[in-house]
Amino acid sequence: MEIGIVTNEIGPGSGQGRVNYEVAQAACERGHHVVLLSSEVDPQLAAARNATWIQISAENWPTRLLKDQVFAWRSARWLEANASRLDVVLGNGCNTWFSPDFNAAHFVHSAWKESPVHTSQVQTGPYAWYQWLYTTVNAYWEKRAFREAGTVIAVSEQVRNELVDAGIRRDAIRVVHNGVDTSEFKPGPAERADLGLPENVPLALFVGEIRTPRKNLDTVLEALDSVPTLHLAVAGRRAESPYPDMARRLGLSDRVHFLGFRKDVPDLMRAADLFVFPSRYEACSLVLLEAMASGLPIVTAQTAGGAELVEDCFGRVLPDPNDEQALAQALDSLIGDPEQLEDMGRAARSAATHHTWSNMANEYLALFEQEDSRS
């Protein structure tokens, strides 16, 4: 089978890029040929015997908004001239003006635009205006792209519901959750002292962007004030973040450990007792799967895409991400029962093994092969 994959970047370093990388790798391993229409491709994949890289460049254009539109136009021109040689084409959102057989929905801009934590709602000035424009343009083109695709692949139930709200037929949508590397993220011993973490105390971990309110660290800090024995490690860039000052104002500086940007997140997860992530808006959070694979009990919120994967046996899913009292109660109940934490950690790891990158890629390929058999 000849499979075309259209996306700006294909490689293991980012969420959307990783999904397409894993799908392309699995296709090559099965003996299919993949045509990669992308600006950047992982060198090893690009050199694979049954892969062809068609480089679509848009780097000389100013702003991401213009780069994306030029990429969409150039990729469509190539596909219009060459699609007849492909059995299946996978697009990603509105990154091509060509109508693909499958379109992966990693994010729904129309839903993000309505979120109370959208950049234009929490900031002012030129950057906020640009983000409003970027989201508005993408929401328009996405609706068109998803409506014209044969099948839309949503990365979570939340994304499926957002697509339906945007006018996409529910029966045209399939949910395929993102994957996780269970050999990189796994339970095991970790020396807290070597990681700059406190020893012999209950420790929760938060990982994410902490310069905006989207990930909801503010509610976590407010809840922590009511759980006096719990420490919190925060992995995320400190520059321009308001939350170190907030922790000081709440008198939490001795229990909240701001670690800055970290590349050793798998080690941090092995060192923690639980993972807390009540994000106010996510499409499908990779970090939830990574915490599950690391054997961590999870406290999250329904607004975090992928939260449907968090089962009662290893996590708590809050209906309201801003309910600091409910969050505090969930955290307090977990750290008060170490045996329960261990049982939940084992259950989390077991659940994660069903969501490997390999399993995800095989679900994509099963859809492609089913489509090819009907052609």
pLDDT digits (tens, 9 = 90+) for 335-371: 989 999 999 999 999 999 999 999 999 999 999 998 7
Mean pLDDT of 312-322: 97
H or E, element range at 365:
helix 357-374
Flag whether pLDDT at 374 surpasses 70: no
Predicted pLDDT of residue 325: 97
Predicted pLDDT of residue 273: 97
pLDDT digits (tens, 9 = 90+) for 98-116: 999 999 999 999 999 999 9
Alpha-carbon gap, residue 366 to 194, rounded angstroms: 44
Predicted pLDDT of residue 285: 84
Residue 13's pLDDT band, with cuts at 50, 70 and 90, is confident
Predicted pLDDT of residue 59: 85
Predicted pLDDT of residue 14: 77
pLDDT digits (tens, 9 = 90+) for 49-80: 999 999 999 888 999 999 999 999 999 999 99
Alpha-carbon gap, residue 278 to 286, rounded angstroms: 14
2-179+356-374 and 193-352 in the same fold: yes
Q: What angle do CA 332, 334, 339 make, to 5 degrees?
A: 140
Per the CB < 8 A criterion, the answer to whether 275 and 341 are in contact is no
Residue 296's pLDDT band, with cuts at 50, 70 and 90, is very high
pLDDT digits (tens, 9 = 90+) for 110-145: 999 999 999 999 999 999 999 999 999 999 999 999
Phi, psi of 62 (to 5 degrees): -75, 145
Alpha-carbon gap, residue 164 to 156, rounded angstroms: 13
**CATH class, range 2-179+356-374:** alpha beta
The three-state secondary structure class of 316 is: strand
Predicted pLDDT of residue 25: 97
β-bridge mates for residue 41, sequence order: 10
Longest dimension (CA), the chain: 65
Predicted pLDDT of residue 172: 96
Alpha-carbon gap, residue 217 to 90, rounded angstroms: 36
pLDDT digits (tens, 9 = 90+) for 146-179: 999 999 999 999 999 999 999 999 999 999 999 9
Flag whether pLDDT at 372 surpasses 90: no
DSSP string, 126-140: HHHHHHHHHHHHHHH
Determine the length of the chain: 375
pLDDT digits (tens, 9 = 90+) for 224-239: 999 999 999 999 999 9
Mean pLDDT of 183-195: 95
Predicted pLDDT of residue 316: 97
Q: What's the gap between Cα 228 and its chain centre?
A: 31
Domain ranges of the chain: 2-179+356-374, 193-352
For the domain bounded by 193-352, which CATH number is listed?
3.40.50.2000
Predicted pLDDT of residue 284: 86
Flag whether pLDDT at 373 surpasses 90: no
Predicted pLDDT of residue 371: 79
Q: What's the gap between Cα 340 and its chain centre?
A: 28
CA distances from 9 to 14, 55, 359 (A): 9, 10, 21
Flag whether pLDDT at 240 surpasses 80: yes
Alpha-carbon gap, residue 306 to 342, rounded angstroms: 23
What pTM, to 2 d.p., does this model score?
0.94
CA distances from 241 to 70, 207, 208, 254, 263 (A): 34, 14, 12, 18, 19
β-bridge mates for residue 102, sequence order: 90, 151
DSSP strand pairing (274-277 vs 203-207): parallel
Amino acid at 1: M
Give 304's Cβ-side CA count (13 Å radius): 28
